[in-house]
Amino acid sequence: MAKDIDRRIIQDLLDNKVDFVTSVPCKQLAGVIEVVDQTDGILHVPCNKEDEGMGLCAGAFMGGMRPLIMMQNTALGVTLNSLATLIQFYQIPLPMLISYRGEVGEPVACQVEMALHTKAFLNQMLIPTYHLHHASQIEELPGILKHTQMCCKPVAILTDASFWGSAK
Amino acid sequence: MIRYELLELLKPVITDELVVCNIGSPSQELHEIDDQPSNFYMLGTMGLASSIGLGLAMATDKKVIAIDGDGSVLTNMGTLATIGNNARNNFILLIVDNGSYGSTGDQPTYAGARTSLAKVAEACGCDTVVECSAAETPDAVKAALAADTMTIIVSKCDSGNKKCPVITMNPIVIRQRFMDEVAR
């Protein structure tokens, strides 16, 4: 069931001309995926794996669209090469709305393992990273989207359990 | 017939269509045979030619041909399900199926053994799938372009590569001249 925060995120995407979204689901992203799927003006193409999704985004960008990928932080484990040799090498602006599993409030112990690597990977890859820990921080999203287009880089927006838990 | 010879045959067939070409030998061979701004050369990222091509076809009305390989498709098999469920009639996926990982020394792929990528594509929901010999491929591409229907072509080639220079063009140049061509 979508919340106000999910609708606000999608409105921010529309306001910033994001018109192509690919996603691999995460339960924290369920609401925002539900809304994007029903939104005119954004083409939502679910993908099977996040590196595949980055290929779709690269193609959509070169065709003139403005893409975004929704995924879980565990996906960093399968996208490092695509980030380096496609998104970064060809300078493709790609905001990544990431469900940051494994933080406080996480019920699944295994998720903590990739959480421990998440910021280290992003730091090592020189990917601008914004960690949203409370729902009020969503006001930073429009600026982050503009920043992504300006610098033509992949940009990580980490949204943890506290962020989603504090959201209405 | 090896891939290089097939690409030579395709030179007069593929004119102003947008081409997304697979990493390694395929891009190097295409670059040597028929370099043009409407070619997007992948310099890295094995497996994503079909995904880039589909994403592009969703964003433009122009014809898009992704030239992929059997090994590359095997590494990103989910792409066929995405393509089968998001058909775009301006999209052609040409899988050069030479049963080998050409760029790494022609090690055999499963597509050269028991696995049929044509049947996988059909099972994934792709309505128009053509498996043909390399010699028949130019006509298959011509027919696909004329039909205005999303087509998956599995072109059965011999294993082997022609030694061509590595592409040294700056990636941003490749990307930007391609985008200029898309927007033209």
Q: Is residue A138 part of a domain?
A: yes
Q: How far apart are CA B46 and CA A95, in angstroms?
A: 22
Q: Is residue A168 part of a domain?
A: no
Average pLDDT, chain A: 97
**Does the pLDDT value for residue A22 go beyond 90?**
yes
Q: Is residue A167 part of a domain?
A: no
pLDDT of residue A73: 98
The C-alpha angle with vertex B20 and arms to B14 and B26, in degrees rounded to 5, equals 85
Q: Categorize the per-residue pLDDT at A1 as very low, low, confident or very high, splitting at 50, 70 and 90.
A: confident
Which amino acid appears at position A155 of this protein? V
* Whole-angstrom Cα Rg for chain A: 14
Task: Please report the sign of the dihedral spanned by the C-alpha atoms of residue B5, residue B118, residue B17, residue B179.
Answer: negative
- The mean pLDDT of B85-89, rounded to a whole number, is 98
**Does the pLDDT value for residue A119 go beyond 90?**
yes
Beta strand residue intervals within chain A, DSSP E: 20-23, 43-46, 67-72, 94-100, 129-132, 154-160
Name which of A164, A71, A165 is nearest A122 in CA terms: A71
Q: Which chain A residues have a beta carbon less than 8 Å from that of B82? A: 45-48, 52, 56
Q: How far apart are CA A101 and CA A115, in angstroms?
A: 6
- By DSSP bridging, strand B107-108 and strand B100-101 are antiparallel
Q: Which chain A residues have a beta carbon less than 8 Å from that of B51? A: 47, 52-56, 58-59
* Domains of chain B listed by start with CATH number: 3-183 (3.40.50.970)
Q: Is residue A166 part of a domain?
A: no
**Does the pLDDT value for residue B103 go beyond 90?**
no
- pLDDT digits 0-9 by tens, B120-148: 999 999 999 999 999 999 999 999 999 99
Average pLDDT, chain B: 97
For chain A, how many structural domains are there in total? 1
pLDDT of residue B49: 98
Q: Categorize the per-residue pLDDT at B183 as very low, low, confident or very high, splitting at 50, 70 and 90.
A: very high
Quick count: other Cβ atoms within 10 Å of Cβ A89? 18
The domain of A155 spans: 4-161
pLDDT of residue A67: 98
Q: Is residue A56 part of a domain?
A: yes
Q: Is residue A44 part of a domain?
A: yes
Q: Categorize the per-residue pLDDT at A168 as very low, low, confident or very high, splitting at 50, 70 and 90.
A: confident
- pLDDT digits 0-9 by tens, B2-53: 999 999 999 999 999 999 999 999 999 999 999 999 999 999 999 999 999 9
Q: Which chain A residues have a beta carbon less than 8 Å from that of B50? A: 55
Quick count: other Cβ atoms within 10 Å of Cβ A77? 13
A43 secondary structure, DSSP code: E
CATH number at residue A81: 3.40.50.970
With an 8 Å Cβ cutoff, are B78 and A45 in contact?
no
Would you tell me which residues 14-73 of chain A have a C-beta closer than 8 angstroms to some C-beta of chain B? 20, 43, 45-49, 51-65, 67
Q: Is residue A132 part of a domain?
A: yes
Contact by Cβ (8 Å): B183, A64: yes
Q: Is residue A109 part of a domain?
A: yes
- The mean pLDDT of A128-146, rounded to a whole number, is 98
Could you give the dihedral angle defined by the CA atoms of residues A157, A88, A82 and A108, in that order, rounded to the nearest 10 degrees?
Answer: -20
Q: Is B142 exposed, middle or buried (0-12, 13-18, 19+ CB in 10 A)?
A: middle
pLDDT of residue A163: 97
pLDDT of residue A5: 97
Distance (Å) of CA A146 to CA A12, A62, A95, A151, B26: 11, 18, 10, 9, 36
Q: Take residue A27 and report the two structure tokens written for it.
A: 């339960």
User: Scanning the structure block, which residue is given the tokens 């992704």?
Assistant: B66
Mutate to test the interface with A, among B51, B76, B79 (most CBs of A within 10 A): B51
pLDDT of residue A29: 97
pLDDT of residue B111: 96
- pLDDT digits 0-9 by tens, A79-106: 999 999 999 999 999 999 999 999 999 9
Q: How far apart are CA A95 and CA B28, in angstroms?
A: 31
Q: Categorize the per-residue pLDDT at A141 as very low, low, confident or very high, splitting at 50, 70 and 90.
A: very high
Q: Categorize the per-residue pLDDT at B108 as very low, low, confident or very high, splitting at 50, 70 and 90.
A: very high
Q: Which chain B residues have a beta carbon less than 8 Å from that of A151? A: none
| This prediction's pTM | 0.98
User: Scanning the structure block, which residue is given the tokens 């082997």?
Assistant: B160
User: Scanning the structure block, which residue is given the tokens 């098999």?
Assistant: B77
**Does the pLDDT value for residue B169 go beyond 90?**
yes
- pLDDT digits 0-9 by tens, A40-69: 999 999 999 999 999 999 999 999 999 999
- The mean pLDDT of B60-73, rounded to a whole number, is 98
